[in-house]
């Protein structure tokens, strides 16, 4: 299905899906940042529990798009141009963005669990991880080293 057709007739749905994906991890981030010392948050913010649940959403998104035959051909020749064309497709972009949100949350949860185990508060690093992803590992690692903690 042509991208322009999807964007014309599905722009509202695409926008709503983007906002949903953008905000789906927000409650967990806010809990880890604002209630970092609560024991129930530590139990909830396990990287092996919540990210796989969010992966179900990604699987549904991919299944629905595959079922509707709206994804571009995944078996196109491997090149920069084909990857660029694939990521320009609205559904592919949403799937990649959902994947990014899940990966950022997983990295943040690992940082949170490590900080809890060594009793260090990392609110700034978690906020940084929420918005820019894995680059937050750099200030997290520096902070752990400066505090004399094992990484």
Q: What b/e sequence results for 4-24 when a residue is b if at least 16 CB atoms lie within 10 Å of its CB, and e otherwise?
A: eebeeebeeebeebeeebeee
122 token code pair: 């990392």
- Name the H helices within the chain: 3-23, 26-34, 39-44, 50-67, 80-88, 90-117, 123-132, 137-146
Note the pLDDT of residue 7. 62
List the one residue out of 84, 85, 96 whose CA is nearest residue 18: 96
**pLDDT category, 90, cuts 50, 70, 90?**
confident
pLDDT digits (tens, 9 = 90+) for 133-149: 999 999 999 999 999 98
Going from the C-alpha of 77 to that of each of 66, 107, 148, the distances in angstroms are 19, 32, 49
pLDDT digits (tens, 9 = 90+) for 34-68: 999 999 999 999 999 999 999 998 888 777 766 55
Helix axes 90-117, 3-23, angle to 10 degrees: 20
Cβ(103)–Cβ(133) under 8 Å?
Answer: yes
Q: What is the mean pLDDT of the chain?
A: 85
28 token code pair: 């967990």
């Amino acid at each position: 299905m042509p991208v322009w057709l999807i964007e014309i007739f599905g722009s509202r749905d695409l926008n709503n899906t983007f906002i949903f994906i953008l905000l789906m991890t927000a409650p967990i981030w806010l809990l880890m940042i604002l209630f970092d010392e609560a024991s129930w948050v530590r139990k909830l913010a396990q990287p092996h529990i919540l990210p796989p649940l969010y992966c179900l959403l990604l699987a549904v998104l991919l299944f629905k798009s595959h079922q509707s035959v709206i994804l571009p051909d995944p078996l196109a020749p491997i090149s920069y141009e084909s990857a660029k064309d694939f990521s320009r497709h609205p559904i592919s972009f949403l799937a990649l963005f959902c994947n990014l949100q899940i990966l950022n949350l997983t990295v943040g949860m690992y940082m949170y669990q490590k900080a809890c185990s060594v009793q260090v508060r990392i609110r700034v690093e978690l906020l940084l991880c929420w918005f820019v992803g894995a680059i937050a590992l750099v200030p997290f690692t520096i902070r752990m080293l400066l505090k004399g903690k094992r990484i």
